[in-house]
Amino acid sequence: MKDRKTGSNESSLQRQLNGYRLTTAEIIYHLPDHPQLLQEFIWQQHDIAPNFPELRRFLHFWETKIEGKLHSVKVASAKLITPGEIKNADGMFAIN
């Protein structure tokens, strides 16, 4: 079944199991009509770190199709599915 957002045949869960992470980019750009002013745009998508092909595709689209010149891009990425953790208990408790 095709994912509506990504156009991929993989489900969101399958993409995460294949290494995709939730990626957020803070994009600061110059306003086209007032280049001395900066505006912020937040982009969020599942992407693969550290190369971020989806973000690179979006930034290429921005540079070729959108008039606002990029000023800076900050990227944060976090795994949504991680291995379980096992911790030893430090004590023993009796429940009556």
Digit-coded pLDDT (tens) for 35-92: 999 999 999 999 999 999 999 999 999 999 999 999 999 999 988 776 666 666 666 6
Is the pLDDT confidence value at 7 over 60? no
**Model confidence band, residue 16 (pLDDT cutoffs 50, 70, 90):** confident
Does the pTM exceed 0.75?
Answer: no
What integer pLDDT is reported at residue 79 of this predicted model? 81
Give the residue among 84, 93, 80 at the shortest CA–CA distance from 46.
80
Q: Return the domain boundaries, the chain.
A: 12-78
What integer pLDDT is reported at residue 80 of this predicted model? 75
Residues with Cβ within 8 Å of 77's Cβ and at least 6 positions away in sequence, in order, are: 21, 22, 23, 24, 47, 49, 52
